[in-house]
Amino acid sequence: MELGARAYDIVIGRGVLNQAGEHLSARLPGARVAIITDDTVAGIHLPALAASLDAADIGHTAITVPAGESSKCFAQFERLCDAVLAARMERGDALVALGGGVVGDLAGFVAASVRRGMAFVQIPTTLLAQVDSSVGGKTGINSRHGKNLIGAFYQPTLVLADTAVLDTLPGRDFRAGYAEVAKYGLLGDAGFFAWLETNWRAVFAGGPERDEAIARSCQAKADVVVEDERESGRRALLNLGHTFGHALESAVDYATERLVHGEGVAIGMMLAHEYSARLGLIGADVVERVRVHLTEVGLPTRIDQIPGQMPPADTLMDIIAQDKKVSRGALTFILSRGIGDAFVEKGVEAAGVRAFLEEKLAR
């Protein structure tokens, strides 16, 4: 990540978790480590990390939160801040997030806040975390008014993405993360999307193509973030599929048995392309290519694939209007002019979107 004085490395590869100790010693000599992880990941991957830190003679302690989105809350934030301080961590010591996006977001906000900033290392263990949440410096927790509404921009010192740890990830979580991988192709890199259409099976299987897909995704996100660290302009492209996606997640009350984030993004990307087609920006062929690829990897593309009752279009519109990407009441959407050619459209007319959603819900 080329962020001037705050530049840092993202190390990607099979087995890099076992080299965590060496990487930490090289970058943060003398630092002790507090590991924040969730109870699922702790059972599977914490021993390898602990062994690697032991081998490098790095003192460490682990603090565990329950797996799942509900840990991104004020109560865990307070508990972790206190636990890190109780472990007598000083400013030069490091906080290591071992887990998915939940652990990364929560631990990142803790790292940003304890003593107004401790060294922070991300070891993302889900595909979503490796290609998305661990890159870019957004950290935070949820409020009862919405997701990710409380937090900090805070860059890590190092990101270690071990692509082998994804072998233990449930298939549904892998697919959900893959929605974000496909997003990078769709938003700005037609060549990458075509490459994914050809190579997605190897990405799922864990061959060298997986490493390549993750590296290209990180690079794509890093490029946008470096250009626009504080999300005034281009960074908004990363929200392709997310305005609709977030509304759907919120509509099911974040019940992950019905819809996980990446599934919402997949449906949202589909809707964004369909809406772009309706506005005459792209043809039916582009929409079809998106649908075929998302479907072949096993991702949903239609609202009616979400189990259970969905609320009416008005409710979805209310959620969209409350979304934090609303600036002074105007709706901002990411639309597409073709594969790899998304753009930010401010001031999208709400009435048109409402009518479109009504149709989609009627099916």
Ligand X SMILES: NC(=O)c1ccc[n+]([C@@H]2O[C@H](COP(=O)([O-])OP(=O)(O)OC[C@H]3O[C@@H](n4cnc5c(N)ncnc54)[C@H](O)[C@@H]3O)[C@@H](O)[C@H]2O)c1
> Which residues fall in the annotated binding site?
101-105, 125-126, 138, 147, 180, 242, 261
Beta strands 33-38 and 9-13 are unpaired
- Which of a second copy, ligand X, none does residue 82 bind (CB under 5 to 8 Å by kind)? a second copy
Residues 161, 14: contact at Cβ < 8 Å? no
Contacts with a second copy, 287-326, as mask; x by CB under 8 A: -------------------------------------x-x
Tell whether residue 145 is a contact of a second copy (CB under 8 A): yes
- Which of a second copy, ligand X, none does residue 152 bind (CB under 5 to 8 Å by kind)? a second copy
**Residue 221 designated active-site:** yes
101 closest CA partner among 155, 138, 53, 75: 138
**Residue 180 designated active-site:** yes
226 closest CA partner among 12, 11, 8: 8
- The whole-angstrom separation of Cα 77 and Cα 130 is 22
- Smallest gap, in angstroms, from Cβ of residue 57 to ligand X? 26
Enumerate residues 50-89 that contact a second copy by CB under 8 A: 74, 77-78, 81-82, 85-86
For residue 249, which amino acid is it?
A: E
Residue count of the chain, please give it: 363
Interface residues with ligand X (CB under 6 A) are 38, 40-41, 44, 67-69, 72, 99-103, 105, 125-126, 128-129, 132-133, 136, 138, 147-148, 165-166, 168-169, 173, 261
For residue 200, which amino acid is it?
A: W
- Which of a second copy, ligand X, none does residue 363 bind (CB under 5 to 8 Å by kind)? none
Residues 34, 24: contact at Cβ < 8 Å? no
For residue 290, which amino acid is it?
A: V
- The whole-angstrom separation of Cα 288 and Cα 15 is 38
- The whole-angstrom separation of Cα 47 and Cα 17 is 10
Enumerate residues 147-176 that contact a second copy by CB under 8 A: 149-153
- Which of a second copy, ligand X, none does residue 261 bind (CB under 5 to 8 Å by kind)? ligand X
For residue 111, which amino acid is it?
A: A
Give residues in contact with a second copy (CB under 8 A): 30, 74, 77-78, 81-82, 85-86, 90-92, 112-117, 138, 140, 143-146, 149-153, 324, 326-328
